Amino acid sequence: MTKKRATVSPSGGEPPFREILEKWNQGIAVRRGEKYVFVNQAYADMCGYGSPEELLSLGSILKTFPEHEHERILRYRAARDKGEAVPTCYEIQAVRKDGSQWWAENRVQEIVWEGEPAYLNAVNDITARKEAEGALKNSEQRFRDFAESASDWFWETDAEHRLTSVSGESEDHVEYWTKARAGRTRFEGRIAEDTDDAKWAAHRADLDARRPFKNFQFPARGADGAIRHVRISGKPVWSADGAFRGYRGMGSDITEFVEAGERARSAQERLAVAIDGLSETFLLFDAEDRLVISNRTWREFSPTIADQSQPGALFEDILRAQIRVGLIPEARGREEKWLRERLERHRNPKGPFEMARPEGRWLSVNDRRLPDGGVITVATDISELKRAGQRLRESEARAEQAHARLVDAIESLHEGFALVDSDDRLVMTNKRFMELYAELAHLYVPGTSFEEIQRGIAESGLVPEARGREDEWVRERIERHKNPGPPFERQLGPDLWLLASERRTSDGGAVAVVTDITELKKRELEIQALNRDLEQRVQARTEELSRQLKETETAESALRASETRLRSVMDSALDGIIVIDQTGTIESFTRGAEKIFEYVSDEAVGQNVSMLMLESDRSRHGGYIGRYMETGEAKVIGVGREVTGLRKDGSTFPMDIGISEVDLGGRRSFTGIVRDITERHQAREALRESEERLRRAVSDAPFPVMMHAEDGEILSVNKTWADLTGYALDDIPTTDAWAAKAYGPEREYPRELIKSLYELAAPTHEAEFDITTASGEKRTWDFRTSPLGRLPDGRRFVITMATDVTERNRTARELLAAKERADAANRAKSEFLSRMSHELRTPMNAILGFSQVLQADPEEPLSPKQSAEVQEILNSGRHLLELINEVLDLAGVESGKVTLSIEVVDPGAIIESCMILAEPMADDRSIELVNGAAGAELARVSADETRFRQVLLNLVSNAVKYNREGGVVTIDANETEDGMARVSVTDTGPGIAVEKQDQLFEPFNRLGVKDSKIEGTGIGLTITKQLVELMGGRIGFESSLGKGSVFWIELPLAADEKSNRDATKFAKASGTADGPKDRSMEHVVLYVEDDPASVKLMETIVGRLTSLTLISADNAESALLLAETHRPDIILMDIDLPGMNGIEALEILRANAKTRDIPVIALSADAMPDQINEAMEAGFLRYLTKPIKVDKLLDAIDAKPRNTVGAASVK
């Protein structure tokens, strides 16, 4: 059959047709034999040539096809020449000018070109379609490979539900189960332990109704005889004509999940028991404020509202029930207002607060909001602490009042008062004393010795009798002080006379009372001067008159004149002068006597002097004069003494009288000089009363006081001592008696201690003992003992004062117990976080590790869809890991266990690295990142580089997350005036309301953000603030609604901030580097890990590295044998291993000469700071936490100190 050829120009000739072909957008090539005779521009572009002419110049069309296609092209031509059938449309590979290959769809039509037969080829570039088909084919193959290598399996049954086939690899126990049930239904294989008939009946109903089913779980017995748990899902299979063919589906072994669920339920039950056993009340509310759980303490504490506080009850309803039954005293009369305040505190916790309960009880209540919006409420009964505090305040107030009364009593004295201790050092003075010694006030400083004060007085020149004999005067004064006698007078300066009285106190100290007698002394001195002058004149004049009386009678006249003058002098004296004869008759009565006795001279002269005396003294006075006249015995003559005078009005007064004999011409007369000493007696009585008041103050002191001597005699105990112990002085005459009664069987030690107190050199000795009172009550006393010196008989004695500290000690013990409970709870929290970290990071290690392996597989790259899905797994896994790390970071910061490494850091490098890390997140939301500090010369700071990057990255991430779509985030840096470096992050987001700004740094508080697309826990800023402050820095922000926010951190400048800075290089966390590292040497890595998934992940990673060989062990004991036998170049060691742990294994490796130099890297899911510090101190080279980052792991292997591992090359 002859084929009909097409013509090039069936209607209008060749040129128009050629022009159309040249402009055609489909590739057109006309060939004759193996040569092109025409090609258009579209075909030239497909082949990579600049013009059709360049392509036509090739000569042979074979140059545009790869060699493996030449045979087909020549075969098709030979067939056409023979008239055989040849495909008119086929796909063929072509080659471009640059050597790259492409796929063409070629449609061939036989035509006549320029009058000769030829073939027109209409060509389409189908390279993209072929690549997509190849990717689809590869994807399908990978899916089949994954299915075969996965732990799940595929199964099929016939219409009778008998198992007909199983595909995919599985563990031995699953293979055993599937093979044992081949040809049987799963109902026939049901084991006796499976007693859930309802479950099987429901499954049978699904099968009978030909319905698809999902996640049907049942137990099965494995090859080892143990029970395994299986989960299957299936869909019915129908033939083309609609007939039921059976079921097809997937199955998986979920034994580990079931067992994990059982463990979780068991842990939940244990947690409930622990909460129920707390001594504090505990309530957990969900995000809707409904009660989830409460403990026994709460139920016992609020039995009257048990029905209203069941799980599911609203927090507000529980509060109203408490108010209704009177459990909230402070809400009375203001119920609704109190309720609103309590709800606000519950919804926005601000720390613990105190709440009153009925019957005087108090609670310390603490609400804490959880990440899921729920709230934990814990209340502690602090009633006893409140009562103890009140008792302590009342006791202190009583002591202060007693002290104030004693001080007031001393200050109210009209006399000067001074007190020195047993060491003769000044203790105190009152205001009056300092007024009297105003010119010497600088000497009377508490603590100054008595000798120093007296020496200062002598050297001041104010004491006339000390001038020129200062040392002797000081010695005399100290002697009088040590052995006090009667009151003595002292002149202080020209115009001040003092009457001083000293008494030794029972504690060996001394009390001095000083009275101003300047006026009395002045009068006394005047009288003494007058008396001396009078005596001299009387004597001289008497002798003169005696001679003159014998010579002339005129002398009598002169004598009278002299007497008149003498009387005038006597009348001018302040003291009274009385002259009597030998019978006691008054002969002269001066004006001074008139003032004293209130008689006028005429009333007294001629009367017996006894009229001026008390009745009891009159006969004695007459007897004195009579005996003197008879015997010359002078009992009162020439002697000064104190007697009681009698005034005219019958009142009495003390007087000082001095009597002297005068011989007047053979007539014996007696002159008496009388002084009213009422004021002196009043001063003496005031001194006595002052001493009595001081004695009563000590006796009535509100604390126990005892004085005892070194031979064991108890000298005194005050009333407080007797009242508190029940033992008076008669009950405990000696310290041995006191020890026997107060200390009982334990008396030996305190008895020996008491004996040592008399040797005290220090002023005070303190000791605390438990005593037993007379009533049998046990009390604790704090004893303070001070030495007092020696008694008159030479015995040393001391004073012991005591304070009852029973309640204080009990309160201290309670506080200590509370602290220990809090410490135990904190340790339990740390242990729980450590375990949670390990349990979460171990599966995360496999999830993120295998995801990285899938994403970076050069031999079997993922399709775009699969790559996106794997990236979602990585993103979600890394977000979960970030949440875990934030919780652990918060726990570490709160417990003060964050270790910082302060060094000089370049802020510019940190800013660049944070922008690189935040760039993918910003691109997703079309947010522009601006480095406002780019190109600037930034001063370096003192900080922990890792923590600096962490806090800045958190601020930048927040600025991106909470920004608007298409917004801008700007990072700036500058120096502050106080020597700090500030780095600020500005966003164009919605801003933060003023009423919410004070909550910004609270943990777990996201300020009411409900958008689920913005991920976070609400603790990032809490950690950021605490880390910045730990580095010596500050953090702050400014924000306005609708305008955005500026967050800034300030860190201290480094000492050498002006030095040149090296650029910091930072690779992306995803591991995108400039190219594979040179890993050209081959070495052995020993991996010690008990988790099979982690071992499989490590085998996958190392399996792609040509230079590394992996050996593994699932326990430390096996690893030690492998290390000694194979001598690996590096060891990766898990810490939490069964049996011997990783740290113990490292100690054995270091003790073995064959293994001590092998670098060991810790690889653990425990990210707690304590664990990391312990491992690094034990000698691990590095500490890597799970989930691992592949590039970080390989970098750690490359960076080992022993130059034997080298770099691993990628297959």
Among 320, 285, 290, 277, residue whose Cα is nearest residue 302: 320
Q: Which fold has domain 899-1008+1017-1052?
A: Heat Shock Protein 90 (3.30.565)
Q: Which CATH number fits domain 413-516: 3.30.990.10, 2.40.128.20, 3.90.105.10, 3.30.450.20?
A: 3.30.450.20
Per-residue pLDDT band at 1185 (split at 50, 70, 90): confident
Q: pLDDT by residue (tens digit) across 409-455?
A: 777 777 888 888 989 999 888 888 888 888 888 888 999 999 999 99
Dihedral of the alpha carbons of 719, 721, 723, 727, in degrees to the nearest 10: -110
Average pLDDT over residues 1134-1161: 91
Query: Contacts for 772-778 with beta carbons within 8 Å, 24 or more apart?
Result: 772/741, 772/742, 772/743, 772/744, 773/724, 773/725, 773/726, 773/727, 774/725, 774/726, 774/727, 774/731, 774/741, 775/726, 778/806
Is the CATH number 3.40.309.10 carried by domain 1083-1198? Answer: no
- Alpha-helical segments (H) within 82-222: 127-149, 172-180, 197-208
Per-residue pLDDT band at 552 (split at 50, 70, 90): low
Q: What is the predicted pLDDT for the residue at 1187?
A: 81
Q: pLDDT by residue (tens digit) across 934-956?
A: 888 888 999 988 889 888 988 99
Whose structure tokens read 């009058």?
115
Q: What is the predicted pLDDT for the residue at 1128?
A: 92
- Superfamily designation of domain 572-676: PAS domain (3.30.450.20)
Give the chain's radius of gyration (CA, Å).
57
Residues 6+ positions from 1017 with CB-CB distance below 8 Å:
371, 883, 886, 887, 1004
Q: Which fold has domain 15-126?
A: Beta-Lactamase (3.30.450)
What are residue 1045's DSSP bridge partners?
1039
- DSSP secondary structure string for all residues of 1147-1202: HHHHHSTTTTTS-EEEEES---HHHHHHHHHHT-SEEEESSP-HHHHHHHHHT-SS
- Taking the C-alpha atoms of residue 1108 and residue 1098, their distance in angstroms, rounded to an integer, is 11
Of 255-264, 550-559, 740-749, 788-797, the one with minimum mean pLDDT is 550-559
What are residue 354's DSSP bridge partners?
364
Average pLDDT over residues 136-157: 68
Would you say residue 1155 has pLDDT above 80? yes
What are residue 48's DSSP bridge partners?
none
Q: What is the predicted pLDDT for the residue at 1018?
A: 46
What are residue 1172's DSSP bridge partners?
none
Of 41-45, 588-592, 1013-1017, the one with minimum mean pLDDT is 1013-1017
- Taking the C-alpha atoms of residue 520 and residue 435, their distance in angstroms, rounded to an integer, is 19
Of 65-69, 582-586, 680-684, the one with minimum mean pLDDT is 680-684
Q: Are 943 and 905 in contact, with CB atoms under 8 Å apart?
A: yes
Q: What is the predicted pLDDT for the residue at 952?
A: 92
Average pLDDT over residues 546-550: 65
- In this structure, what are the phi and psi dihedrals at residue 846, rounded to the nearest 5 degrees? -70, -45
Indicate the domain borders of the chain: 15-126, 154-260, 278-388, 413-516, 572-676, 683-811, 899-1008+1017-1052, 1083-1198
Number of Cβ atoms within 10 Å of the Cβ of 840:
20
Q: What is the predicted pLDDT for the residue at 1033?
A: 92
- Taking the C-alpha atoms of residue 481 and residue 431, their distance in angstroms, rounded to an integer, is 22
Helix (H, G, I), strand (E, B) or coil at 962: coil
Q: What is the predicted pLDDT for the residue at 631?
A: 64
- Taking the C-alpha atoms of residue 62 and residue 67, their distance in angstroms, rounded to an integer, is 8
Of 275-284, 658-667, 834-843, the one with minimum mean pLDDT is 834-843
Q: Are 79 and 73 in contact, with CB atoms under 8 Å apart?
A: no
- Taking the C-alpha atoms of residue 784 and residue 706, their distance in angstroms, rounded to an integer, is 10
CATH fold match for the domains 15-126 and 899-1008+1017-1052 = no
What are residue 1071's DSSP bridge partners?
none
Among 363, 366, 393, 406, residue whose Cα is nearest residue 381: 363
Q: What is the predicted pLDDT for the residue at 1080?
A: 41
Please provide the CATH number assigned to the domain covering 154-260.
3.30.450.20
Q: What is the predicted pLDDT for the residue at 674?
A: 87
Residue count of the chain: 1211
DSSP state of 1207: -
- Taking the C-alpha atoms of residue 380 and residue 817, their distance in angstroms, rounded to an integer, is 14
Helix (H, G, I), strand (E, B) or coil at 903: strand
Output the CA–CA distances (angstroms, integers) from residue 1120 to 190, 878, 1109, in the order listed: 46, 34, 18
The DSSP H or E segment spanning 1133 is: strand 1130-1133
- Taking the C-alpha atoms of residue 907 and residue 938, their distance in angstroms, rounded to an integer, is 7
Please provide the CATH number assigned to the domain covering 683-811.
3.30.450.20
Of 395-404, 706-715, 923-932, the one with minimum mean pLDDT is 395-404
User: Residues 650, 653, 654, 660: is their CA dihedral positive or negative?
Assistant: negative
Class of domain 278-388: alpha beta
- The dihedral region occupied by 810, where left means phi > 0, alpha psi between -120 and 50, and beta the remainder, is alpha
Whose structure tokens read 């001393």?
410
- Taking the C-alpha atoms of residue 1164 and residue 1117, their distance in angstroms, rounded to an integer, is 18
The DSSP H or E segment spanning 580 is: strand 576-581
Six-digit token pair at 591? 């004006």
- DSSP secondary structure string for all residues of 371-433: TTS-EEEEEEE-HHHHHHHHHHHHHHHHHHHHHHHHHHHHHT-SSEEEEE-TTSBEEEE-HHH
Helices and strands (DSSP H and E) totals, the chain: 34, 43
Per-residue pLDDT band at 636 (split at 50, 70, 90): low
Per-residue pLDDT band at 1207 (split at 50, 70, 90): very low
Would you say residue 551 has pLDDT above 70? no
Among 10, 33, 30, residue whose Cα is nearest residue 22: 30
Number of Cβ atoms within 10 Å of the Cβ of 447:
10
User: Residues 299, 300, 301, 302: is their CA dihedral positive or negative?
Assistant: positive
- Taking the C-alpha atoms of residue 286 and residue 372, their distance in angstroms, rounded to an integer, is 8
Helix (H, G, I), strand (E, B) or coil at 1138: coil
Would you say residue 40 has pLDDT above 90? yes
Please give the share of the chain, as a percent, with pLDDT higher than 90. Answer: 20
Higher pLDDT, 289 or 869: 289
Q: Are 1164 and 838 in contact, with CB atoms under 8 Å apart?
A: yes
- Taking the C-alpha atoms of residue 1041 and residue 1007, their distance in angstroms, rounded to an integer, is 14
Higher pLDDT, 1061 or 1082: 1082
What are residue 361's DSSP bridge partners?
357
Among 710, 711, 714, 703, residue whose Cα is nearest residue 741: 714
Q: pLDDT by residue (tens digit) across 166-200?
A: 765 444 545 555 555 667 888 887 888 888 899 99
Q: pLDDT by residue (tens digit) across 643-688?
A: 888 998 989 999 888 787 776 656 778 888 888 888 888 877 876 7
Q: Are 357 and 363 in contact, with CB atoms under 8 Å apart?
A: yes
- Taking the C-alpha atoms of residue 483 and residue 792, their distance in angstroms, rounded to an integer, is 10
Output the CA–CA distances (angstroms, integers) from residue 13 to 8, 19, 113, 115, 1071, in the order listed: 8, 11, 11, 11, 65
Please give the share of the chain, as a percent, with pLDDT higher than 70. Answer: 82
Q: What is the mean pLDDT of the chain?
A: 80
Average pLDDT over residues 622-647: 68
